[in-house]
Amino acid sequence: DAGVIQSPRHEVTEMGQEVTLRCKPISGHDYLFWYRQTMMRGLELLIYFNNNVPIDDSGMPEDRFSAKMPNASFSTLKIQPSEPRDSAVYFCASSLSQTNEKLFFGSGTQLSVL
Amino acid sequence: ILNVEQSPQSLHVQEGDSTNFTCSFPSSNFYALHWYRWETAKSPEALFVMTLNGDEKKKGRISATLNTKEGYSYLYIKGSQPEDSATYLCAFSGGSNYKLTFGKGTLLTVNP
């Protein structure tokens, strides 16, 4: 398996633009997680899915953020409109269970909003 | 909000030194404790997942222990090598929702 695949690796955009981040989890993993990494707050969980269904989105900062998982092999995280404070590294991870199996992380998307 | 604290924040050691760092977490409603290694410009990779009080896990020169009653885990590196330089993250699962909460990590630098 190629592991968790994220795209793009880097995204530079202007304030107000829509940004879409993409993730392909490891085949057979039932759980998919979106995390955001910042210097101030470390790795924060934004939302996670179980069998394509969003289970907990309490970490999503505000209504500008949305996430979907239309099938077992694809998820998107969308920010509309983007703001400079959204600049961070966004990681997608997948695992066999919610908590007692290790997470496999993608390579992350470095987002810069100017 | 679950507090997962890691100490120290950063650590410099010489090649060949043994070292250890700490992860503290809430001692109630424990479910699992994870350790990850995160090298610069890469993504975090899992080292250990521990679920039982008294668990000890080992992978090469790296080992970890778990005390769920007092809410701490130690990560040990024996004979540090420059390639061990990385940020070591712990993550706790428990409380009312079992979500995995990460600490901010310990940045280890091993000087040759």
Q: Hey, of A32, A34, A43, which one would you mutate to test binding to chain B, going by the most B CBs within 10 A of its CB?
A: A43
pLDDT of residue A99: 72
Sign (positive/negative) of CA torsion A46, A52, A56, A60?
A: positive
Asked whether the predicted pLDDT for residue B90 surpasses 70, the reply is yes
Q: Specify the pLDDT at position A65.
A: 96
The answer to whether B86 contacts chain A (CB < 8 Å) is no
Report CB contact under 8 Å: A100, B46.
Answer: no
Q: Is A77 exposed, middle or buried (0-12, 13-18, 19+ CB in 10 A)?
A: buried
Q: pLDDT by residue for chain A (114 residues), tens digit each?
A: 679 999 999 999 999 999 999 999 999 999 999 999 998 888 999 999 999 999 999 999 889 999 999 999 999 999 999 999 999 999 999 999 777 789 999 999 999 999
At residue B94 the predicted structure's pLDDT band, cuts being 50, 70 and 90, is confident
Q: Is A103 on the interface with B (CB under 8 A)?
A: yes
pLDDT class of B29 with cuts at 50, 70, 90: confident
pLDDT at B81 over 90: yes
What's residue A97's pLDDT?
Answer: 78
Instruction: Return the residue matching tokens 């057979």.
Output: A28
Residues of A in contact with B32 (CB under 8 A): 99-100
Interface A–B counts its CB contacts (< 8 A) at 49
pLDDT above 80: residue B83: yes
Per the CB < 8 Å rule, is B98 touching A102?
A: no
Residues 9-68 of B with CB under 8 A from A: 31-32, 34, 36, 42-46, 49, 51
Whose tokens are 């130690």? That residue is B74
A35-47 burial string, b = 16+ CB within 10 Å, else e? bbbeeeebbbbbb
Residue A91: which of A46, A40, A54, A39 has the closest Cα?
A: A46
**Amino acid identity, position A50:** N
Say which residue, B93 or B77, is predicted with more confidence.
B77
| E strand segments, chain A | 5-7, 10-13, 19-24, 31-38, 42-50, 53-56, 65-71, 74-79, 88-95, 104-105, 109-113
Please give the share of chain B, as a percent, with pLDDT higher than 70.
Answer: 98
Q: What is the pLDDT of residues B45-73, one digit of tens each?
A: 999 999 999 999 999 999 999 999 999 99
- Closest partner residue to B43 (CB to CB) among A100, A101, A105 is A105
CA atoms of A32 and A50, how far apart (whole Å): 7
Cα–Cα–Cα angle for B68, A59, A3, nearest 5°? 75
Least confident span in A43-47, B2-6, B19-23, B79-83: B2-6
Give the span between the Cα atoms of B73 and B33, in whole angstroms. Answer: 8
How many angstroms separate the CA of residue B101 from the nearest CA in chain A? 8
